[in-house]
């Protein structure tokens, strides 16, 4: 068995151990934040792929997260009963895309099935990413960062100012997402342990896909693009094509994360599309090491968990900003990276040699 799959197996064992520990210590309430952390981490690993391997920075991924979450929330809560007789609604009903359910007050609703809403949301995000990715990814450096930041601001202002999307209150009453019979993503107390394993199982699946991609021919091409884009282009690698595909892929990861977390929380608000959310995701990738999926996941687990627990209080955004500055100053390659063991070994070797000299 390769070391890659041994690492994934070890990580899965650690996830199981955490759940068992919370059960033994009667602290299962921590599973709520850990489950949410897993969904945020799904976005982070997609962004890590974009920044660390395609060499493209994005300050607009919170926008993709919000688009996915808002579309799914809107389609699964907007009552279509009054439009039942219209051809499009009748066609959707015929193909089983619509489902009837009760609202919070016991009223009848006709809405899109969560699976249909999820597919529509993901496809919308992929199309948006493809459309804006073409021209935006021609930019480099701070120009690219500014362009993606502008996209994120546009999405934030749209969801904040649109009454049909709940404006500042967002959308609530989002139903659970039944993935399989007996497996529903929701924040209900009875399914807390199941949801914990579902969330981390989805994240591990996403990590496995990206790790396989990194070790493939495509991954090697992306590493070449990140190292020297002009040289890669001269060697015949279609750099623009690869960058666009990775951008769309990372946006897809963000959309799926937004959809699943929205159904888990039962709501979504405009804060999920804020600029500081995008900065936070970039900070986590930078701290973990831009070319390290494992580093990104580790830092996401730690920082998102403490943030969701309210450990940073009202200084939440400030803490992430300070951490990002410190990392850029003293550890620009991140805290967790492939070279870290070599650096530590060299450090201790220097210390030992100095002591021997004395």
Question: Residue 172's beta-bridge partner residues?
Answer: 267
What is residue 29's predicted lDDT score, i.e. its pLDDT? 85
Nearest to 243 by CA among 218, 280, 261: 218
C-alpha separations of 321 from 191, 258, 286, 287 in Å: 35, 23, 12, 11
Place of tokens 């688009």: 67
Cα distance between residue 244 and residue 231, in whole Å? 18
Distance CA 60, CA 57 (A): 9
Cα gap 125→137, rounded to integer Å: 16
Give me the pLDDT at residue 256, please. Answer: 96
H helical segments located in the chain = 3-24, 30-52, 61-77, 87-94, 114-136, 141-161, 192-214, 217-227, 229-234, 239-265, 275-288, 293-308, 316-330, 340-357
How much is the pLDDT for 357? 61
Split the chain (358 residues) into runs of 10 and give each run's mean pLDDT: 79 93 88 94 94 88 95 92 82 84 76 93 96 88 88 94 90 90 84 92 94 88 81 83 92 96 94 91 88 89 90 85 84 65 62 63
Predicted pLDDT of residue 354: 61
Q: Is the pTM of this model over 0.85?
A: yes
Q: Which of 181, 162, 163, 144 is nearest to 54 (CA)?
A: 144
Alpha-carbon gap, residue 56 to 141, rounded angstroms: 8
Structurally, the chain folds into a number of domains equal to: 1
CB–CB of 63/154 below 8 Å?
Answer: yes
| pLDDT score at 358 | 58
Maximum pairwise Cα distance, the chain: 90
Q: Contact at 8 Å (CB) between 190 and 179?
A: no
Boundaries of domain holding 343 = 3-357
- The confidence score (pLDDT) of residue 28 equals 83
């Amino acid at each position: 068995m390769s070391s890659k799959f041994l690492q994934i197996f070890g990580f899965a064992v650690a996830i199981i151990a955490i759940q068992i520990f919370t059960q033994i210590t009667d602290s299962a309430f921590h599973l709520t934040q850990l489950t949410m952390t897993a969904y945020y981490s799904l976005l982070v690993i997609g962004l890590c792929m974009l920044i660390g391997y395609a060499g493209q920075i994005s300050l607009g991924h919170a926008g993709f997260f919000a688009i996915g979450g808002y579309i799914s929330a809107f389609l699964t809560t907007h009552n279509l009963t009054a439009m039942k007789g219209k051809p499009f609604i009748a066609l959707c009903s015929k193909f089983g895309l619509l489902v009837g359910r009760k609202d919070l007050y016991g009223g009848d609703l006709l809405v899109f099935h969560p699976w249909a809403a999820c597919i529509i949301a993901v496809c919308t995000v992929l199309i948006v990413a493809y459309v804006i990715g073409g021209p935006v990814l021609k930019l480099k450096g701070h120009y690219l960062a500014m362009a993606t930041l502008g996209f994120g601001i546009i999405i934030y202002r749209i969801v904040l100012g649109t009454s049909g999307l709940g404006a500042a209150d967002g959308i609530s009453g989002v139903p659970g997402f039944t993935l399989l019979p007996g497996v529903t993503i929701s924040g209900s107390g009875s399914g807390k342990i199941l949801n914990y394993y579902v969330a981390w199982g989805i994240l591990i699946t996403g990590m496995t896909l990206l790790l396989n991609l990194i070790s493939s021919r495509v991954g090697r091409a992306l590493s070449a693009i990140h190292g020297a884009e002009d040289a890669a282009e001269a060697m015949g690698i279609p750099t623009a094509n690869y960058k666009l595909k990775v951008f769309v892929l990372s946006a897809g990861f963000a959309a799926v994360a937004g959809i699943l977390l929205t159904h888990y929380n039962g709501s979504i608000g405009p804060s999920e599309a804020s600029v500081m959310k995008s900065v936070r995701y970039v900070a986590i990738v930078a701290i973990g090491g831009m070319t390290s999926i494992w580093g990104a996941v580790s830092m996401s687990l730690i920082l998102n968990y403490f943030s969701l627990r309210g450990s940073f209080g009202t200084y939440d955004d400030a803490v992430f900003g300070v951490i990002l500055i410190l990392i850029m100053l003293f550890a620009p390659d991140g805290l967790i990276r492939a070279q870290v063991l070599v650096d530590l070994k060299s450090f201790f070797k220097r210390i030992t040699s100095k002591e021997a000299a004395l």
